[in-house]
Amino acid sequence: MNRIRLALHRLFRRPVITDPMRISTRRIPDGLLLDFEDYFTYVIETIADDEEILGLFLELVEDRGMARERKHDGWEPEHLLMEQLAERVGHEIPVRGESLRKLGKRMLSAAPKPKPKTAAVVSIPAQRRKGGAAA
């Protein structure tokens, strides 16, 4: 059912950003989901189409497999491989101008509304009230 809702959402909801990559949003009860499907597709295609990047990815997969077998934490050289992949493929999507304004507006509309502040109620001791013991 979720896949059908997501497909319908993508068909009928206009994306917030269309250039350089489409970013859509979807409201959820406690916030907002950002849909980066175009970026995800770009990353997978870039890895598949570039032999050098594919080699880095396969090396990372092999290292993680060996780490599981040896109960190794996977830190070395996995982080270096991830850094190299991120540098080659990219890990940021530029959002500028009108697209930035639209995305900000959509995100603000999904933020929880602030609760109104109530004035602090100060209790006055009975002795100080008019007609009290001090009067």
**14 pLDDT band (50/70/90 cuts)?**
low
Cα–Cα distance measured from residue 67 to residue 10, given in angstroms and rounded to the nearest whole number = 39
Mention every residue, 6+ apart, whose C-beta is less than 8 A from residue 60: 78, 81, 82, 85
Q: What percentage of the chain exceeds 70 in pLDDT?
A: 67
The pLDDT, as a whole number, for residue 123 is: 66
Q: What is the pLDDT of residue 98?
A: 84
Residue 57 has pLDDT above 80, yes or no: yes
Q: Which residue has the higher pLDDT, 34 or 121?
A: 34
Residue with the two structure tokens 């990219």: 90
